[in-house]
Amino acid sequence: MVLAGISSSAQESNQQTAEPVDHGRALINPQMGWTMHFYSNIITNYGSKLKPSNTLDDFPGLSCAYLRVPWSFLEPQEGKFNWSLLDTPAQRWIDKGKQIALRISSTESWMRWATPEWVHAAGAKGYNFTVGKGVDENGPYWEPDYMDPVFLEKLDNFLKAVADRYDGNPNVAFIDIGSFGVWGEGHTWASSKLPFDYESRKIHVDLYCKNFKKTLLAISDDFAGPGEPGRHFPITDYALSKGVTLRDDSICVQPPPKSWFHAEMAQEFWPKLPVILEHEHYGPSKRKNAWGDGSLLLQAVEEYHASYMSIHWWPRILLNENREIIDKINRRMGYRIQLKKVTFPKKIKLSEPFTITSTWANAGVAPCYPGGFIALTLKDEQDGIVAAFCDESFNVRDLEVGQPDKAPTKTISSTFAVALKTYGFAPNTQPGTYGLHISVGMRDGTPVIALPHENDDGRRRYKLGKIQLLEVEE
C-alpha cells in the first residue's frame, strides 16, 4: 500500500491520505476462485498425477478442489460407504485453508453401474443404452428411470448420508445437484435420449433441497436444455426460488459462435448467488478449435458475472499454456474489493471521537456475496492489537460492479473513539504512536476478505500509516 504525499493544508488540518494501489495478483476469498477437478467422473482425471503433498499452491486463485464421482464409488454396498475417496484429497486442500466441492452422478457414459448395481437388484427400473444410439436392449451402460420409486428411495437415503457429513461443513463450497442425467448434467442426449419433463427434474431438485439446508447447491444449466438460449426456464427458475445457484458446464465445448448458450440465464442468478463455470476439457477444446487464444474464457466470466471457474484438465498444462489469460481472469472473476483512498488523522486524543473517510470499489464482475464490514485496528511495534473497531453502517456486499476499470465507488465516513478508559469501557490504552490497519470482515473486526493491496500483516489487515495517540486533557 502506497502512502500518498501529504499536502501542507492536510498537515495543518491534521489529516493524511493514503491512496492504495491494486497489486494485480490473484486473491483467495470466500465464494470465488478456481476449482480444480481432482476427480472428473473418472477418478484418474485429473488429480492422479499430483503427489500427496502437491496442492497446486502456485496456481493463482485456486480456492477449491472439485470431486466429481459416480454414486457407486461411494456406496458400493447399501449403507456401506467409501468416504475416504472424498476425504483423502479433501484433507490435502483443507490443510491449506482451501475448500472442496462435490458432484455425485447416477449415470455415466463410460461405466455401467454409476448408480450402484444393488439399487437395480432392489428393483429400480432403468434402461440399457449405447452412447450415440440411445436406448439399446444390448447396450453396455445403464441409466435409471429418474422417477422410479425404488431408485428415488435409495437415492434419498444416500443423500441423507452425504448431508450428515457435509451439509453446513465450512470446508465445502458447494454441492451440485448431480443425480439426474448423464454425468450429472441434467440431460440424456449422451445416454438414453429419453425425454424427461419438468416434474421429473423438480423431484431431484427437491431431494437435494430437502437434505442440504445449509451448503450452497448448484444446478447445471443443461437441466433446461443443453443448447436452448433464454433467460427463464421453469426448472432453473424453480431452482433459483429454492436458493440454488447456476452452474454452466458448456464453456468452449463448441467453436464460436456457439461457445456457450446460457449467459442470459445467468443474469437471474448472479445478483444473488455465485455463478459457477466449467470449461470443456482443455485438450479436446483445443482440438475442436473451440479454445482459441483463451480470451473466450475471460469473455465468459464477464458475460456470466462468474465467481468460480474450473481447471478442467491436467492443471500444470492449463497454467503453463494460459498463464496470461488466467492472470487477467483473476483480476475480474468474483469480487475484488479495492480501497481507493482513505483520509485519517495524524494525531488523536484518547477517548475523543475521530473520523476516517474511505472510498471503496468492487473491481470484480460479481458482488461480494459473503459481505463484510470495514474495521480499523491500531497495533504496536510488537504487532500487538491496541484497539479495534468496526463500522457496521456499510456492507461491502452493496458495492456495485461495473465494466473493467470502471467500477462505481462508495465513500464512507466512520467515526470512532479510542479507549474510553476514564469510564472503564475499554482496555487501558496508553498514549503513543501506533500503526493503523484497515480490514474487511465480521462485525467484531475479525478480517475475512483479502484485499488486493500490499502491507498485509499476514491476517488480512493492511497497514495505512501511523497515528499518534495523545493523552486526553484534564
Residue pLDDT, tens place only, 248-259: 998 999 999 999
pLDDT score at 426: 56
Q: Element (H or E) spanning 345, and its range? A: strand 337-345
pLDDT score recorded for residue 443: 97
Total domains in the fold of the chain: 2
Strands (E), 179-285: 217-220, 245-251, 275-279
pLDDT of 421? 55
In order, the DSSP letters of 303-334 are HHTEEEEEE-S-HHHHHHHHHHHHHHHHTTSS
Alpha carbons 393 and 389: distance in angstroms, whole number: 12
Q: Are residues 346 and 279 in the same domain?
A: no
pLDDT of residue 5: 40
Q: Are 311 and 318 in contact (CB under 8 A)?
A: yes
In a domain, 203, yes or no: yes
Q: Is 1 within the bounds of a domain?
A: no
DSSP states of 36-66: EEEEESEEEEETTTS-TT---TTSTTEEEEE
Dist CA 5 CA 317 (whole Å) = 45
Place of cell 470512532: 416
Q: Torsions phi, psi of 103, nearest 5?
A: -140, 135
The span from the CA of 451 to the CA of 32, in Å, is: 14
Position of cell 448458450?
A: 261
Q: Cell digits for 413?
A: 465516513
Q: How many residues are recorded in the chain?
A: 474
Query: What pLDDT does residue 3 have?
Result: 40
Domain-ending residue, one of 297, 315, 330: 330
Amino acid (1-letter code) at residue 146 = Y
Task: Say which DSSP state 187 is in.
Answer: -
C-alpha cell at 317: 498444462
Q: Which residues contact 249 (CB under 8 A, 6 or more apart)?
A: 183, 185, 220, 221, 222, 278
On whether residue 412 sits in a domain, the answer given is yes
* First and final C-alpha spacing in the chain: 37
For residue 418, what are the domain limits? Answer: 8-25+336-470
Residues 357 and 298 in one domain: no
If 0-12 CB within 10 Å is exposed, 13-18 middle and 19+ buried, where does residue 65 land?
A: buried
> Is 422 in the same domain as 326?
no
Last residue of a domain, one of 330, 361, 386: 330
In a domain, 251, yes or no: yes
Q: Is the same domain home to 20 and 49?
A: no
Give pLDDT, residue 429.
81
Looking at residue 229, what DSSP letter applies? -
Burial label, 10 (beta-carbon count in 10 A; 0-12, 13-18, 19+): middle
Number of H helices, E strands in the chain: 11, 21
- Looking at the fold, whether 342 and 325 belong to one and the same domain comes out as no
Does residue 173 sit in the same domain as residue 55? yes
**Residues 274 and 367 grouped into a single domain:** no
Over residues 446-462, the pLDDT tens digits come to 999 999 999 999 999 99
What pLDDT does 6 receive? 41
Looking at residue 14, what is its pLDDT? Answer: 93
Same domain? 270 vs 399: no
409 by Cβ neighbours in 10 Å (0-12 / 13-18 / 19+) ranks as middle
* Percent of the chain as helix, strand, coil, to the nearest 5: 25, 30, 45
Q: Which of 278, 296, 330 is the last residue of a domain?
A: 330
371 and 315 housed in the same domain: no
Per-residue confidence (pLDDT) for residue 419, from 0 to 100: 72
Per the CB < 8 A criterion, the answer to whether 401 and 395 are in contact is no
DSSP string over 4-19? PPPPHHHHHTTEEEE-
- Contact residues for 471 (Cβ-Cβ < 8 A; gap 6+): 349, 350, 431
306 and 413 assigned to the same domain: no
* Ranges in the chain, pLDDT < 50: 1-8, 10-11
- Report d(CA 64, CA 308) in Å as an integer: 9
Which 8-state DSSP code applies to residue 181? Answer: S
User: DSSP 3-state assignment of 471?
Assistant: coil
- Please check whether residue 298 lies inside any domain of the structure: yes
Looking up residue 107, the CATH number of its domain turns out to be 3.20.20.80
Quote the radius of gyration of the chain (alpha carbons, Å).
Answer: 26
Same domain flag for 230 and 278: yes
- 357 and 244 inside one domain: no
Read off the C-alpha cell for 284. Answer: 479436446
What pLDDT shows up at residue 7?
45
Nearest of 245, 218, 365, 363 to residue 306 by alpha carbon: 365
Q: What percent of the chain has pLDDT over 70?
A: 95
Nearest to 436 by CA among 321, 354, 352: 354
